[in-house]
Amino acid sequence: MTTAPPGTGGPDDPGFGIYVHWPFCASKCPYCDFNSHVRHVAPDQARYVAAFGRELATAARRTPGRTVSSIFLGGGTPSLMEPATVGAILDALARLWTVTPDCEVTLEANPTSVEAERFRGFRAAGVNRVSLGVQALNDADLKSLGRTHSADEALRAVDVARRHFDRYSFDLIYARPGQTEAGWEAELRRAIAEAAEHLSLYQLTIEPGTMFEALHRAGKLAMPDDDMGRVLYDLTQDVCAEAGLPAYEISNHARPGAECRHNLIYWRSGDFVGAGPGAHGRLTLGNGRIATATEKHPETWLKRVEEQGSGIVSEEHLVQIENADEFLVMGLRLAEGIDLARYEALSGRPLDPDRIAFLEGEGFVRRLPGGRLKVTPEGFPVLNAVVADLAQAD
Task: Count other C-beta atoms under 10 Å from residue 369's C-beta.
Answer: 5
Of 251, 267, 283, the residue at which a domain comes to its end is 267
Higher confidence at residue 189 or residue 117?
Answer: 189
**Same domain? 45 vs 169:** yes
pLDDT, mean of residues 184-196: 95
Of 230, 248, 267, the residue at which a domain comes to its end is 267
pLDDT, mean of residues 19-24: 97
Q: What is the DSSP letter of 334?
A: B
**Same domain? 263 vs 325:** no
Percentages of the chain per state (helix, strand, coil), in multiples of 5:
40, 25, 35
* pLDDT on residue 1: 34
pLDDT, mean of residues 11-20: 89
* pLDDT on residue 178: 92
**Same domain? 86 vs 180:** yes
- Residue 9 identity (one-letter amino acid): G
pLDDT, mean of residues 55-65: 97
Q: How many domains does the chain have?
A: 2
**Same domain? 67 vs 210:** yes
- Closest of 99, 95, 171 to residue 128, by C-alpha: 99
* pLDDT classification of 68: cutoffs 50, 70, 90: very high
* pLDDT classification of 5: cutoffs 50, 70, 90: very low
Tell me the residue ranges of DSSP E strands in 250-303: 252-254, 271-275, 280-285, 288-294
pLDDT at 2 over 80: no
**Same domain? 345 vs 224:** no
- Residue 225 identity (one-letter amino acid): D
* pLDDT on residue 4: 34
pLDDT, mean of residues 52-69: 97
Q: Is 230 exposed, middle or buried (0-12, 13-18, 19+ CB in 10 A)?
A: middle
Q: What is the pLDDT of residues 275-311, one digit of tens each?
A: 999 999 999 998 899 999 999 999 999 999 999 999 9
**Same domain? 99 vs 215:** yes
pLDDT, mean of residues 197-213: 94
Q: Is 306 part of a structural domain of the chain?
A: no
* pLDDT on residue 359: 97
**Same domain? 242 vs 327:** no
* pLDDT on residue 33: 87
* pLDDT on residue 9: 58
Q: What is the pLDDT of residues 253-282, one digit of tens each?
A: 999 999 999 999 999 999 999 999 999 999
- Residue 287 identity (one-letter amino acid): N
* pLDDT on residue 13: 78
**Same domain? 202 vs 331:** no
Q: Is 2 part of a structural domain of the chain?
A: no
Quick check: 76 and 298 in contact, CB under 8 A? no
Which domain covers residue 348, as residue numbers?
A: 321-391
Q: What is the pLDDT of residues 211-232, one digit of tens each?
A: 999 999 999 999 999 999 999 9
Q: Is 316 part of a structural domain of the chain?
A: no
Q: Is 284 part of a structural domain of the chain?
A: no
pLDDT, mean of residues 104-126: 91
* pLDDT on residue 7: 41
CA atoms within 13 A on the CB side of 180: 3
pLDDT at 249 over 60: yes
Give the chain's radius of gyration (CA, Å): 21
**Same domain? 254 vs 368:** no
Q: Is 96 part of a structural domain of the chain?
A: yes
Q: Report d(CA 29, CA 178) in Å as an integer.
A: 19
Handedness of CA 65, 329, 103, 54 (dihedral sign): negative
* pLDDT on residue 77: 94
The pLDDT mean for the chain works out to: 93
Q: Report d(CA 181, CA 260) in Å as an integer.
A: 28
- Closest of 204, 91, 186, 72 to residue 137, by C-alpha: 186
Q: Is 364 part of a structural domain of the chain?
A: yes
pLDDT, mean of residues 31-45: 93
Q: What percent of the chain has pLDDT over 90?
A: 90
pLDDT, mean of residues 123-139: 96
**Same domain? 239 vs 374:** no
pTM of the full structure: 0.94
Q: Is 30 part of a structural domain of the chain?
A: yes
Q: What percent of the chain has pLDDT over 70?
A: 96
What is the three-class DSSP state of 133?
strand
Quick check: 181 and 231 in contact, CB under 8 A? yes
pLDDT at 126 over 90: yes
Q: Is 280 part of a structural domain of the chain?
A: no
CATH number at residue 130: 3.20.20.70
CATH number at residue 344: 1.10.10.10
**Same domain? 250 vs 123:** yes
**Same domain? 256 vs 338:** no
Q: Report d(CA 268, CA 11) in Å as an integer.
A: 6
